[in-house]
Amino acid sequence: MRRFIYSSLSALLLSASILSPALASAPKIELSASGSMVFDFTAPFISSSGLLNDSHIIQVMVLGMSLEDLTISIPPQMGKFSRVQVTDGTGKAVAAKITTNKKQVAIAFDQPVNPGQLLQINIVGIQTDQEEGSILLYGLTGHRAGIRDEIPIGTARIQVPGRG
């Protein structure tokens, strides 16, 4: 009986020591003193998306590791657009090779974008014949420095305004 208790206790201690590092590196969600939730992100994410005149704007916050490139899936309802611009949080152009086709925009940065930087993607000259209130969804993926596979970043949602 004593042997059973010691072996059970040993197994419990061993599993706790193995799981501790995994739990410590998990994303943190905390409740602040005001009762609101606080998130601790460790990967790039879409911080906002919206419209400005004839442009669709998507902002991506780079966190965790450097970002080498972005791929944006163009919604099938999209008529056409004239060009794509990428700027940083200060409005300065980010050096990148941008290729487009009807289904996607590929952005390969000349230098990886460091964590802590905000990227703004402006899809300029949007032409769509969608009805007022329709929603366009842009899927974003990217490659982080040191990781070979593509990672999902998120889906930007843009509501089509009225034509009035």
Consecutive 10-residue runs of the chain (164 residues): their mean pLDDT?
Answer: 50 44 45 63 89 92 94 90 94 96 95 95 86 88 89 93 63
Residue 81: name the closest of 103, 61, 62 by CA. 103
Strand blocks (E) in 1-145: 28-31, 37-40, 45-52, 55-61, 67-73, 83-88, 96-100, 104-113, 118-124, 135-144
Determine contact, residues 128/54, Cβ cutoff 8 Å.
Answer: no
Token pair of 16, please? Answer: 């706790």
Token pair of 104, please? Answer: 């996607």
pLDDT score at 39: 63
Q: Are strands 45-52 and 83-88 parallel, antiparallel or unpaired?
A: unpaired
Domain boundaries, given as residue ranges, for the chain: 2-40, 45-159
Amino acid at 22: A
Measured CA to CA, the distance from residue 86 to residue 113 in angstroms comes to: 12
Q: Does residue 106 sit in helix, strand or coil? A: strand
* CA–CA–CA angle 51, 139, 70 (5° rounding): 95
pLDDT score at 31: 54
Q: What is the pTM of this model?
A: 0.74
CATH architecture assignment, domain 45-159: Sandwich (2.60)
Measured CA to CA, the distance from residue 161 to residue 138 in angstroms comes to: 16
Determine contact, residues 156/44, Cβ cutoff 8 Å.
Answer: no
Residue 135: name the closest of 156, 155, 103, 158 by CA. 158
